[in-house]
Amino acid sequence: MTTRIVDLRKGVLEKNDLLAQSLRAQFVRANTRVSNWVSSPGSGKTALLEALLTAALAQSVSAAALVGDCATDNDAKRLERSGAPVRQIVTESMCHLEADMIASYLDGWDLDTIDLLVIENVGNLVCPTAYDLGEDTRVALLSVTEGEDKPAKYPQLFHSADVVVITKTDIATAVEWDRLAAMAAIRAVNPTAPIIETSSRTGDGVLELLHMLLAPMPSNPSPQLQEAP
């Protein structure tokens, strides 16, 4: 029984990876940067994504979002306030997004007109880590309210991240956030990924993150942005 379960999981992941490779090639042809945001529930990723989409449009950057949740379209409705095109993916209790979901929800969007596509994964620090969605950048988010040792508890996610984003820094003092301990925990599992400290309320780090996600692909310049303060 154990062997059959392992074989089935391997087959599912291989099928997902093949489709993800096809999606990635499609994104590269369209010169669309794609990031996959992974975090626990309540980390503030939807609030930060709303701030990022709003900032992108203000910078004349065409941005869009796909939002994954087990139920409801609440997050998509929140993100629509930014003015960016948003689509909700309801997974019906599935704890992660898969490449076939991304492919089906792209239908009707002209990727050639989208500079940045952000995929907000289902709130979970384990399951989404195993599934490639065709992204060029995996973003792991860590809130100051979650504890400094989250990277040690969930090393696979933080090790696989291209960028680590710390959220809710405006309340860091109130929750007695130990910044140095958190940085050490991140670096213990991922010595090289950029770490961006953000606040969706104050806007701190939002333009820096936008610049990071729009860093040019080989031979393809990114849209011009104003300098982050």
Q: pLDDT at position 220, please?
A: 45
Q: Residue 227: which residues within 8 A CB-CB, separation 6 or more?
A: none
Residues 98 and 13 sit within 8 Å (Cβ to Cβ)? no
Q: Which domains are present in the chain? A: 2-213 (3.40.50.300)
- Number of neighbours of residue 73 by Cβ within 10 angstroms: 15
Q: pLDDT at position 217, please?
A: 57
Query: How far apart, in whole angstroms, are the C-alpha atoms of residue 31 and residue 217?
Result: 8
Query: How far apart, in whole angstroms, are the C-alpha atoms of residue 18 and residue 38?
Result: 21
Q: pLDDT at position 11, please?
A: 67
pLDDT tens track of the chain, all 229 residues? 555 545 556 767 899 999 999 999 999 999 999 999 999 999 999 999 999 999 999 999 999 999 999 999 999 999 999 999 999 999 998 999 999 999 999 999 999 999 999 999 999 999 999 999 999 999 999 999 999 999 999 999 999 999 999 999 999 999 999 999 999 999 999 999 999 999 999 999 999 999 999 987 554 444 444 444 3
List 65's β-bridge partners, or say none.
86, 118
- Residue 35 burial (C-beta neighbours within 10 Å; 0-12, 13-18, 19+): buried
Model-level pTM?
0.91
